[in-house]
Amino acid sequence: MYRDTDLFLEHLRPHYNDAVKYCRALTFRISIEDAEDLFQQSVLKGLENFPKLKEKEKFKSWLFKIITNEFINQTRKAFWKRFIPIDENTNHSRMPEIFHEIEQTEKNNILYHALGMLNSKERACILLFELADFSIEEIKKIQNEKSLSAVKSRLSRARGKLKEQIIKLEASQEIRYKKISSQNLGDLENETLKLI
């Protein structure tokens, strides 16, 4: 039995959008199911520990810390998950599918793919900064880092890699687009000749 469910939901509502996007972006390379698992586990953990949260105004960073830790745990468990046939979450009902409804635009796909090329800590770091608008100090606490410089250098590395990946992905998409266009032109020519 969870206490303070209503209060928890009240606190969750303003950060729900960012939390969902954060979960999806973290697990984009894996699967939608992993994003759902991550979000569900984080909500359950948050719900369980919510009464222990004394400073409710720090709810956002607290929630994102839970998500980040769950994501790291999920990454570590990935190896054993291959051998475990039973669903670990059989003792409660599954969360409704929310991520299937998220429609990916082309631009988002490029960003998600580029983020997928970063390692898990870098990915979490840049998402916390860019998407969730956390400060370096807050990210330091969320990622359990000892110094600000560690977060700064991680962020800097992540930005560099992300830029590189986005440029590569944009270039490859441009080539694909040109190929499709020339193929379509060729088809049109053939059709015209047939008609003549």
Partner 1 sequence: MKLSNLFKNSNMNDNLNTGKKYWQELKNRNHENTFSKVENWVNNLNSEKTYNFKLNRIQNMKNYFSINKFKLVYSILLLAVVFAACNVPVTQNELIGNAINWKVSKQSTEAIDRINSLPWIDKSKLSVVEQTEGDKTFLDYNLVLEAKSQEDVQKYMQQLQEIKDIAAIQIFPLNQTTKRPLYAAALHSFFRVDVDATHMSDAEVNAELDRQLKEAGIEAVTIDFKKNAQGERMIEIHPTGIIGMEDETKNKDFELTVKDGNNEQFVKTRHKNDASLNLEGKTDDEIKKAIIEDMKKNGNVVKPEDLKIERDAEGHVKVEFTKVNDSKERKMENKIELKVK
Contact flag: residue 110 with partner 1 (CB under 8 A) = yes
104-111: long-range contacts (C-beta < 8 A, 24 or more apart)?
A: 106/173, 110/166, 110/169, 110/170, 110/173, 111/25, 111/166
Contact flag: residue 17 with partner 1 (CB under 8 A) = yes
Contact flag: residue 101 with partner 1 (CB under 8 A) = yes
Contact flag: residue 117 with partner 1 (CB under 8 A) = no
Q: Which is nearer to partner 1, 104 or 183 (CB)?
A: 104
The closest of 19, 79, 28 to 46, measured between CA atoms, is 19
Amino acid type, 139 = I
Contact flag: residue 83 with partner 1 (CB under 8 A) = yes
Please answer whether residues 130 and 114 qualify as being in contact, where contact means their C-beta atoms are separated by less than 8 angstroms: no
User: Of 10-18, 27-35, 56-64, 172-180, which part binds partner 1 (CB under 8 A)?
Assistant: 10-18
Contact flag: residue 187 with partner 1 (CB under 8 A) = no
Binding-site member from 88, 174, 187, 189 for partner 1 (CB under 8 A): 88
Q: Which is nearer to partner 1, 88 or 189 (CB)?
A: 88
Q: Which is nearer to partner 1, 72 or 166 (CB)?
A: 166
Binding-site member from 31, 160, 183, 191 for partner 1 (CB under 8 A): 160
Binding-site member from 48, 174, 187, 189 for partner 1 (CB under 8 A): 48
Binding site for partner 1 (CB under 8 A): 1-2, 5, 8-9, 12-13, 16-17, 20-21, 25, 43-44, 47-48, 80, 83-84, 86, 88, 91-93, 95-96, 98, 101-102, 105, 107-108, 110-111, 114, 130-131, 135-137, 148, 152, 155-156, 159-160, 162-163, 166-167
